[in-house]
Amino acid sequence: MASRYDVELVQVTKRYGTAVAVDGISLRVPAASYCCLLGPSGCGKTSTLRMIAGHEAISDGDILIQDLNVSNLPSVRRGTSMMFQSYALFPHISCLDNVAFSLRVRGVPKKERNAKAQEYLDLVHMSDFAKRLPSQLSGGQQQRVALARSLITRPKVLLLDEPLSALDPFLRVRMREELKRLQRELGISFIHVTHSQEEAMALADLMVVMEDGHIRQAATPRAIFEEPASAFIARFIGGHNVLPWDSGMIAVRADRCSLGSTGDNPRLAGHVTAVEYQGPVVRVAVATDAGLEAVAVVSDRDFYRSPVGPGDVATVSWLQAEAHQLAH
């Protein structure tokens, strides 16, 4: 029977000397899911990925891949494959040889491994570049080759370390779609480390927000966006106003705020500090005299009905029901 979870982390800890990089985290990644580890730099997300890959020893705890405890197994026997942030293509051999590398070290005959490698280059639309050296390719093309090299090992779990961070924004969105398509078609789990909440939201079935070596929240992107567990998460995933209120800290989505006030809705009055036109919406930042800041993202139609500029008096208000109470 297929296992319910592709990856399970049980109280996994990583210590470097006395510094704790990952502090007893537990996580279950359901079968065939796209999981994003999200967090600011130094939060332990890359250490976690490298421990799953077997490139970093676990200080404490266990890692299971499809019900097999792999904590003490070498990388190659874990059924994982890692795609490196720098791509780490071997510079002295052709793309085809790079992709065929893992077959070569397993002793697969040349003809057979080249045919297989060609097949995987096809999968990432790079078959025309088989004979080139990595240095003769653009960053995006190198990434595709690296992806083919990782996939040819037929991993149970593909591990991606900030795979899109080196690409330009346009390419990033295209590659993002492609990663998601491949994950769906191959039916395996991807674990993708990123510091971009936009990327994580676009891709993840399971979004894991990390801070300071801990998992702060793990859920679907929608659940996290609708109900961030803490002020840190609300701020980190963006799009929220985090405000101290009568009942404690609250988070209010900026796109659910409006300018001006109606009735006795909660509000924040102050002066406009910035106006950004973003096409379909306009982003208006308002600061109170007490130093609180709130952002209203309003539709361009609403904004231009009664436009405001920096320095103008303005009020940001929202419906009581839109305020989300934060734990701390």
Partner 1 sequence: MTLLQTIGFRGQAEQREKAPFRLSPRMVSWLQVGPLAVVLIALFALPTVLFLVVSFFDYDRVGIYPAFMLDNYQDLLTTPSTLRVYISSLKFGLIVWSITLFLGFNIAYFLVFHVRRPMVRTVLFLLCAIPFWTSGIIRTIAWIPFLGRNGAFNQALMALHLTDKPLEFLLFSDFSVIITYVHLFTLLMIGPIANSWAKIDPALLEAARDSGASRWQTMYLVVIPLAKTGIALGSILVFTQVMGDYFVVRQMSGGQSASIVSMLSTEIQAMQYPPASANAMVLVLFVAIMVACMMRVVDVRKELVK
Contacts to partner 1 by CB under 8 A: 53, 55, 74-76, 80-82, 84-86, 88-93, 101-102, 104-106, 135, 149-150, 153
Judged by CB, which is closer to partner 1: 89, or 229? 89
Q: Are 29 and 7 in contact (CB under 8 A)?
A: yes
Judged by CB, which is closer to partner 1: 101, or 236? 101
Judged by CB, which is closer to partner 1: 41, or 320? 41
Q: Is 35 helix (H, G, I), strand (E, B) or coil?
A: strand
Judged by CB, which is closer to partner 1: 135, or 262? 135
Judged by CB, which is closer to partner 1: 78, or 253? 78
Per DSSP, 223 falls in state H
Judged by CB, which is closer to partner 1: 19, or 105? 105
CB of 89 to partner 1, least distance (A): 8
CB of 101 to partner 1, least distance (A): 5
Q: Are 318 and 266 in contact (CB under 8 A)?
A: yes
Closest to 284 (Cα-Cα) out of 266, 263, 268, 262:
268
Closest to 44 (Cα-Cα) out of 27, 69, 68, 64:
27
CB of 247 to partner 1, least distance (A): 49
Q: Is 151 helix (H, G, I), strand (E, B) or coil?
A: helix
Residue length of the chain: 328
**Which residue type is seen at 116?**
K
**Which residue type is seen at 155?**
P
CB of 83 to partner 1, least distance (A): 9
Q: Which residues pair with 295 in a beta bridge?
A: 285
CB of 31 to partner 1, least distance (A): 22
CB of 46 to partner 1, least distance (A): 12
Beta-strand relationship, 214-219 and 281-287: unpaired
User: What distance in Å separates the CA atoms of residue 34 and residue 186, rounded to the nearest whole number?
Assistant: 12
Judged by CB, which is closer to partner 1: 90, or 304? 90
User: What distance in Å separates the CA atoms of residue 328 and residue 203, rounded to the nearest whole number?
Assistant: 28
Q: Are 132 and 141 in contact (CB under 8 A)?
A: no
CB of 131 to partner 1, least distance (A): 18
User: What distance in Å separates the CA atoms of residue 285 and residue 296, rounded to the nearest whole number?
Assistant: 6
